[in-house]
Homo-oligomer: A and B are copies of this chain.
Amino acid sequence: MKLLQDRIRRDGVIKSGNVLKVDSFLNHQMDIELLNEVGKEFKRIFEGYPINKILTIEASGIGIACITAQYFKVPVVFAKKAQSINIDGAVYSAKIESFTHKKTYDVIVSKKFISPEDRILIIDDFLANGCALAGLIDIVRSAGAAVEGIGIVIEKGFQSGGELIRNMGVRLESLAIVESMNAENGTIEFRE
């Protein structure tokens, strides 16, 4: 998606340790016009798929998922990162190791909101090591529901997550795949 690549080149900041900061338009401040283009592109890619629900994970996936859901006319469910007194009853859970935060945490989804008849599109902002996605796929499959596809805004193509998830037999589409980036001179290359 050229619009997105151009925006990453213009406003993304490459930091040492393979960190790509896109917090000025994607995951701290959010450019809603850009998210609308992202949502339309996911709809174009997954047109005709019998998707009836979008699943994402807090926090930065939520905005993208909600804007995208308008084009699919389906509800959004977001996985929560910690047990809350407001989630009672049975939950599906998965353990996730965060690349960003260097720690492991549990994510949960109430069993009320994923059923065997659900056909789910998973949406997230970043794909790096794939742990978050693998956890979400595990939750969907635990519920007996189907993962129709996965839509990612930015994939770090030089990390192992993309291969891990594609090897699970799921259609994974990333709108921008970073092939390499260089914190010293600020250059970034995308996979075509």
Contact B32 A66 (CB under 8 A): yes
Contact A113 to B32, CB < 8 A, known contacts A59-B62, A85-B101, A86-B21: no
- Select from chain B the residue with minimum beta-carbon distance to A25: B75
Contact A59 B32 (CB under 8 A): no
Contact A30 B66 (CB under 8 A): yes
Tell me which residues across on chain B come within 8 A of A62, comparing CB atoms: 58-59, 62-63, 66
What's the Cα separation between A85 and B19 when bound, in Å? 9
Q: How far is the CB of A135 from chain B (nearest CB, A)?
A: 16
Q: How far is the CB of A36 from chain B (nearest CB, A)?
A: 7
> Which bracket fits the contact residues of A?
35 or more
A112 an interface residue at 8 Å Cβ cutoff?
Answer: yes
- Copies of the polypeptide in the assembly: 2
Give A45-96 interface residues, CB cut-off 8 Å to B. Answer: 58-59, 62-63, 65-67, 69-70, 73-78, 80-82, 84-88
Tell me which residues across on chain B come within 8 A of A25, comparing CB atoms: 75
Contact A85 B63 (CB under 8 A): no
Candidates B29, B101, B109; contact of A113 at CB < 8 Å: B29
Contact A31 B85 (CB under 8 A): no
Contact B77 A100 (CB under 8 A): no
A35 an interface residue at 8 Å Cβ cutoff?
Answer: yes
A110 an interface residue at 8 Å Cβ cutoff?
Answer: yes
Q: How far is the CB of A32 from chain B (nearest CB, A)?
A: 5
Tell me which residues across on chain B come within 8 A of A78, comparing CB atoms: 28, 30, 59, 63
Contact B76 A63 (CB under 8 A): yes
A160 an interface residue at 8 Å Cβ cutoff?
Answer: no
Interface centre among A24, A63, A113 (most CB of B within 10 A): A63
- Select from chain B the residue with minimum beta-carbon distance to A17: B85
What's the Cα separation between A74 and B19 when bound, in Å? 27
For the complex of A and B, 5 pairs with smallest distance between CB atoms: A58-B59, A63-B66, A62-B62, A29-B113, A59-B59
